[in-house]
Amino acid sequence: MMLKGRTALVTGGTRGIGRAIAERLLREGVVVAICGRSSASVERAVEELASSGGGKIYGTQADIASVNDVRQLFAFADRELGGTDILINNAGVAVLRHIAEMSPEQWERTIAVNLTGVFHCCREAVAQFRRRGGGFIINIGSLLGKTAVTGGAAYCASKFGLNGLSEAMLLDCRHENIGVCTIVPGSVNTELFGTPAGADWKIQPDDVAQVVVTVLEMPQRTLVSRVEMRPLRPPQ
């Protein structure tokens, strides 16, 4: 699709990968809305993104685990952007803990954000895309949705589940001019897992953003439905 003048909703655009995607889309002439759980971090990110020289950026507080917040988020995008052409399901949380030490709350929260939250957003987006004649959803999955790691019961379950959601949704939607792609990165240089960002060997958030733009810009006849990304040279 031609990106200039399109509208995009990026969940969790206050930092990390979502922030880089928002910044890159703005540079491509897309009108972007972001969300995050705290108003203060959304406001700060919107201010910084606005001064980075891109196009029009909007933001609102929304917890994607809440079906009500998600309804309001899409209503906000309707109002401010005039509707949504592209949904980037990026918001996510991670807890790595031995199964015996993982609390039910940690399990439930991880699934609620990383899997059910994506469902809430897709459901709203697809209803809107139908009215607009099409649209595109990119889900940010993880290589930990393909290969398990120690301590990853909740996170891996959420990302394994996201693959199933994405693949089934693709089949539901492909004849309605709605594309679905899952981008599946390995280690990205953010603070998601509680380690400070700064590792040069990791995939950088901008690299994921570059793939987002490439996927969206493919000719209309071709859908890139899954992209796996890995650091070329992880520590041995």
CB of 15 to ligand NAP, least distance (A): 5
Which of 7, 60, 84, 90 is close enough to bind ligand NAP by CB under 6 A? 90
| C-beta of residue 4 within 8 angstroms of C-beta of residue 13 | no
| C-beta of residue 121 within 8 angstroms of C-beta of residue 140 | no
Binding residue count for ligand NAP, defined by CB under 6 A: 32
What phi and psi, each to the nearest 5 degrees, are found at residue 44? Answer: -65, -45
User: To which H or E segment does residue 209 belong?
Assistant: helix 205-216
Q: What residues does 203 pair with on adjacent strands? A: 188
Q: Rounded to 5 degrees, what angle do the CA atoms 98, 103, 107 make?
A: 85
The Cα 179–Cα 126 span in angstroms is: 10
* Residue 17 touches ligand NAP, criterion: CB under 6 A: yes
Determine whether 58 is an active site residue.
Answer: no
CB of 107 to ligand NAP, least distance (A): 15
In the structure encoding, which two tokens stand for residue 69, read together? Answer: 């917040």
* Residue 7 touches ligand NAP, criterion: CB under 6 A: no
In the shown chain, the binding pattern of residues 58 to 77 toward ligand NAP, with x for contact by CB under 6 A and - for none, equals: ----xxxx------------
**Is the Cβ of residue 100 or residue 232 nearer to ligand NAP in the bound state?**
232
The Cα 173–Cα 30 span in angstroms is: 23
Which of 8, 16, 95, 170 is close enough to bind ligand NAP by CB under 6 A? 16
CB of 18 to ligand NAP, least distance (A): 5
**Is the Cβ of residue 126 or residue 140 nearer to ligand NAP in the bound state?**
140
Which of 1, 102, 192, 213 is close enough to bind ligand NAP by CB under 6 A? 192
200 phi-psi bin (left φ>0, alpha ψ -120 to 50, beta other): alpha
User: To which H or E segment does residue 236 belong?
Assistant: none
User: To which H or E segment does residue 11 belong?
Assistant: strand 7-11
The piece of 52-60, 92-100, 169-177, 213-221 that touches ligand NAP (CB under 6 A) is: 92-100
Active site residue: 74, 76, 129, 155, which one?
Answer: 155
Interface positions with ligand NAP (CB under 6 A): 11-18, 35-38, 41, 62-65, 90-94, 113, 117, 140, 142, 185, 187-188, 190-192
Active site positions, annotated: 155
